[in-house]
Amino acid sequence: MQLSAIPAVQPSAPVTSNDPVVQVRSICKTYGDIEALRNIDLEFSRGKLTTLLGPSGCGKTTLLKIIAGLVPANSGEIRVNGRAVTGPGPERAFVFQDFALMPWATVMRNVAFGLELRGVNAAERKRVATRYIEEVGLAGFEEKYPHELSGGMRQRVGIARAFAVNADVLLLDEPFSAVDEQNRRKFQEDLLRLVDLEKKTFIFVTHSIEEAVYVSDRIVLLSPRPGRISQVIDPKIDRSASPDDIRRDPGYLDTVEEIWDGLRHYVD
């Protein structure tokens, strides 16, 4: 492994790690005539935050939904904890771009919904949900309805709901894209705190280079039409520094520039 911010480029060989929690094997996906993903091989290491980054049309959300079991692949295989999966499972939890909160349910019921579907009793649901509502910073809003919350607060509900089912892997589909810029920064900082606190594996989809570099242990760059892995980057950034220092860190800025150089020719 290189120690500098210079990315490790492995365009075709499968990306391996010591303890893969999710393995993506030769995934192909077409929508009619459009080839969305071609032969994707990837491994996601346990306890790390990996970002799928790329311009629109590169299939990053499709790949995430295939991993989640929400969209079937045409060929290939997804393995979670070593076992092949075909649909959604309890070891994975999804955070939706548009929050996907039930407007008729309170924050409490929304956060506890995954447990409700599993038949967990009301007292236990409340205990678990209260803990995660507090963890994402929504204590006091338990009995509010989604329309009474701001966009940022709604996505906190979505994240608390995903935490509440205690999955090994959290799949986040552009979770901050519907949140305004100031809130997004706060959110990214909170996400890093939660990653540290929860010791889970995060797979994160975004189209923001800065966001990817700021939060990720590893960035998988996808190129569009058809979606393929073009680059894998391990940003070497000292996470113990303050958020402002990280954003001024030369390693951070170089990595952002590096990725932009890689993506530039896909834009237009």
Partner 1 sequence: MTSSVKLGNATGAHEAPVNVGQALSRMFDSKPFLWTIASLTLLFGAWEIAGLIPISIAFPTFSSTLVAFAQMVVDGSMVYAYFLTLQPLLLGVAVSAALGISLGIFMGLSRKAEWLIAPVFIVLQAAPMAALVPLVTFVYGIGLTAKTLAVIMLALPVIVLNSYKAVRHVNPSLVDMCRSFQGTRLQQIVKIIIPDASPVMFAGLRLGIAAGFIGVMLAELLITPTGVGDLITYHRSVANYAHMYAAVASIIVVSTVSLAGLQSFEARFLRPEKRKR
What residues line the site for partner 1 (CB under 8 A)? 68-70, 87-90, 92-94, 96, 98, 100, 102-104, 113-114, 116-118, 145-148, 165
Judged by CB, which is closer to partner 1: 110, or 216?
110
**Closest approach of Cβ 64 to partner 1, in Å?**
11
Q: Is 205 exposed, middle or buried (0-12, 13-18, 19+ CB in 10 A)?
A: buried
**Closest approach of Cβ 75 to partner 1, in Å?**
22
Q: How many whole angstroms separate alpha carbon 203 and alpha carbon 138? A: 23
Pure H helices in the chain: 60-68, 107-111, 113-117, 122-135, 151-164, 181-198, 209-215, 243-248, 250-263
**Closest approach of Cβ 19 to partner 1, in Å?**
24
Q: How many whole angstroms separate alpha carbon 227 and alpha carbon 174? A: 17
Judged by CB, which is closer to partner 1: 113, or 214?
113
**Closest approach of Cβ 158 to partner 1, in Å?**
9
Amino acid at 92: R
Place of tokens 């963890």: 135
Judged by CB, which is closer to partner 1: 13, or 104?
104
Q: How many whole angstroms separate alpha carbon 31 and alpha carbon 103? A: 31
Judged by CB, which is closer to partner 1: 32, or 103?
103
Judged by CB, which is closer to partner 1: 36, or 165?
165
Q: How many whole angstroms separate alpha carbon 8 and alpha carbon 119? A: 45
**Closest approach of Cβ 105 to partner 1, in Å?**
8
